A and B are shown apart, each in its own frame.
Chain A
Amino acid sequence: MKSDAVDALLVLVLLLNFFALGTSRMRAVINATALQGVVLGVIAVLAHRQFTLQPMLIAGGAALIKGVVIPWMLLRAMRDVSIRREIEPVIGYVSSLVAGAVATGVAILFARTLPLADENVGSLFVPASLATVLTGFIILTTRRKAITQVAGYLVLENGIFIMGLTLVDAMPFLVEVGVLLDLVVGIFVMGIIIYQINREFASLDTTRLAHLKE
C-alpha cells in the first residue's frame, strides 16, 4: 500500500521531468522543479520504515528548500531581469522531449541490470533516479539562460536525492550531509553568481557569456 503510493509519486516525478523539458516558459520550469521538490519530501517521509524525528526534519527541510526557498529565489531573479521565456534553446522543445524519453528508456533498461537489495525490490527508485539525473543534464546543457540552467541543476539534484532515499535507513548521515551540502552549493553560490551576471550584463543570457571561445 505504502509502496504503491511511493511508486505513484515517483511516476509523478517522471512526468514533471517531461513537463520541464517541454516548456519554454521559465516560470513553468521553476514551478515544475518546486513541485518535484515537494513530492520528493513526501516520498522521503513515506520511504522511512519507522517515523522518527530526525529523518522527518531532513525530509521536511529538503522539501522546504527545494520546493519553496530556491524557486522563490529563482522567480525573484527572473522578475528582476524581466525575462519570461527561454529563447532559442540549443535543441528544440520537441527534440528535448524525445531526448528525455530516450534517456528515461535507457535509465529503465540500465536499472534492470542492477540487482536490488531486498527492501527495494520492485520499486521505481533506481530508474526514476537515473532518469531524473539525465533529464537535469539535458536541461542544463541545452538551455541558454542562467536561471534555466540552475533549474536543470536542481532537477539533477532531485535525481540524486531519489537515489539517496534508497540508502537513508542504512546510512542516514552521509545522505543528509550530501543532500544539504549540495543544496547549499546549488543555491547560494549560483545565487551570488546570478546576481553578478545580472549586474554585469543586465541580462541572464549565458550566450552573452561567449567571450571565451576557441
Chain B
Amino acid sequence: MVALALVIVPLVFALLAMVVPQRVRSWLLLVAGAVQLVLAGVALSMPVVGGLNGWLLLDGVGRLVLAFTTLLFFLCVIYARGYLAFHPERSNRNFIACLLAFMAMMTLMIEAQHLGLMWVALETLTLASAPLVYFEQGPRALEATWKYLLIGSVGIALALLGSLFLAYSALRGGVAPSLLQADLTADAARLSRPWLRSAFVILFIGYGTKMGLAPMHTWKPDAYGEAPGVVGALLAGGVTSCAFMAILRFLRICAAAGDATFARQLMVVMGLLSMAVAGAFVARQKDFKRMLAYSSVEHMGILVLGVGIGGAAVFGAMLHMVNNALTKGVLFMSAANIQRAYGSKSTDDVRGALRRVPISAGLLLAGFFAITGSPPFGPFLSEFTILNATIAGGHWFVAALFLLLLAVVFIGMGSTVIAVVQGEAPKATTEAKSTRGVRFSFVAPAVLLLGLVLLLGVYIPKPLSDLLHGAAASVEVFR
C-alpha cells in the first residue's frame, strides 16, 4: 500500500494542481511535499515495502535514495514557493504540476524492481522535467532544453536497447525472459554471457547519459546553467542519483552471474574520465552555474569509481551520493540567489557577493569547500573512505589520479568562486527587485542543507548509518 501511495499521492496532487487557482496551488505544493516526507518516513519504518506482484519493492539502495531525495525535494519545495512568489506574473500551474509529477516518477524509479517499469519511469521523468528546465524561457533556455531532450532521449533509447539485450540474454539462456530483478539475479548463472556483457555496456551508456558521466555529459552544463536553480538542485541531487541507482541494479545482475569484474573495470575507467573532463572544463569557467554542472560530472565520476573499486569504497560511494545531493542543493540555491541579486551568472559582472548578498555568498563559499572535499564537511569523509579503500585494494595508480583530479577541480572551482564572492561589488545598474517577504524561502533550505552536510562530516546518525550499510550490502551481496 505505502509503496503505491508514494507514487500515486504526488500524481494526484499534480492533477489537483492543474485545476486549483494560482494562490492555492503554491500551498498545495507545500502540502504535497510534506505528505511525501511523511509517507517516506512511514515506508522507511517498515521492514518490507512492496506491491504489484513484486514489481515495486524498496531494496537497500532504494531505501537510501528515497530517504535523501524526499528530504531534498521537500526543501526544494520551500525554495520553489519563494521562487514562484518572486515571479507572480508567471503562471505557476505547469511548474508545480510538473514538479509533482517529477517527484512521483523519481519515486517510481526508486521502487521499480521491474527494469522495464524503471525505464518507463525514467522516460516520464525526463518528459516532466523538460518544462521545468524551460521555465525561464528565451533562446538560451530553449537551446538548453533542446539539448537536454535530444541527448536525454538518445540515452533513454539506448537504455531501452540495453534492457532488450538483457531480456535476450535470458531468452538465449533458456530462461523465461523476465525483467524482474529478482528473477534475473536468481537465474543469473544461466544468462547468456555475451548478451549480458553487451547489455551492461549499453545500459551503462544509456543510464550514464542521464547521470551525466563524461563523455555523455554535454547536456549538463547547458541544462543546469539555464534551468532555475531549484530545478538544477533536483536534477543534480535527485535524477542523477536515481540513474546511478539503476546502474547499480545492473551491476548486481552482472555480479550475480559472476561476471562483474569487467563491469567494475569499466566503471573505474569511466569514473576517472568524468573527473578528468570535469577538471579540464571547470578551469577558468566564468559562468558559475555551468561550473556547478561540471562539479556534478566530477562527482558522478567519483560515485562510479567508488563502486568500481568495491569493498569499503562502495560504502563510501553510498555516503558520497547523499553528501553530493545535499551539497548540490546548497550550491544551486545559493548560486541562484546570487544570480538573482546581480542579474547575471558570469564572473564578468558578479563580484563582491559577500558584501551584497552575504548569506548566499557565504553559503556558496561553504558549499564550495564542502563539495571539493575539505574537512569537516561530509564529502571529505566519503571521498576519504573511497581513497582509503582504493589504496587498501592496491590500486595505487587510481588513487594517485583520484587525488590529483580532486586537486585540479578544487583549484579550478576555487578561482571562480573566489572571483564571485571577493572584491568590490560593482554598482548596481538596475535596481534589483526586492526579495522582501520571500527571503526566508531563499535562504532557510540552503542553511539547513549545509547544516546537514556539516553534521555528516562529524557524525552519522544511527538510522542513516543503517540505511548506508543496507545500501552497500545490497550492492555487494553477490561479491
Contact = CB atoms under 8 A, between A and B. Distances in A.
Interface string B56-98: 0000000000000000000000000000000000000000000
Contacts of B134: 196
Contacts of A163: 161, 164-165, 168
B441 interface: no
Interface string A175-193: 1011001100110011001
A186 to B, nearest CB: 7
B298 interface: no
B347 interface: no
Contacts of A177: 116, 120
A209 interface: yes
Interface string B106-130: 0000000000100110011011001
B146 A209 contact: yes
A116 B179 contact: no
A53 interface: no
Interface string B149-165: 11001101100110111
Contacts of B147: 209, 212
A210 B144 CA distance: 10
A114 interface: yes
A174 B167 contact: yes
Given A170-B167, A170-B177, A185-B127, A214 B281 contact: yes
Contacts of A201: 139
Interface of B is mostly: helix
Contacts of A164: 164
A27 B37 CA distance: 52
Interface string B202-232: 0000000000000000000110011000000
Nearest to A201: B139
B146 A193 contact: yes
A17 interface: no
Interface residues of B, number: 46
Contacts of B177: 167, 170-171
A212 B226 contact: yes
B137 to A, nearest CB: 9
Given A177-B120, A212-B144, A166 B156 contact: no
Nearest to B143: A209
B194 interface: yes
Interface of A: 113-117, 133, 137, 140, 146, 149, 153, 156-157, 159-160, 163-164, 166-167, 170-171, 173-175, 177-178, 181-182, 185-186, 189-190, 193, 196-197, 200-201, 206, 209-212, 214
28 contacts: A114-B195, A115-B172, A115-B192, A117-B171, A117-B172, A137-B154, A140-B150, A153-B157, A163-B165, A167-B167, A167-B168, A171-B177, A171-B179, A177-B120, A178-B120, A178-B164, A181-B123, A185-B123, A185-B126, A185-B153, A185-B156, A186-B153, A193-B146, A193-B149, A200-B138, A200-B142, A209-B142, A210-B143
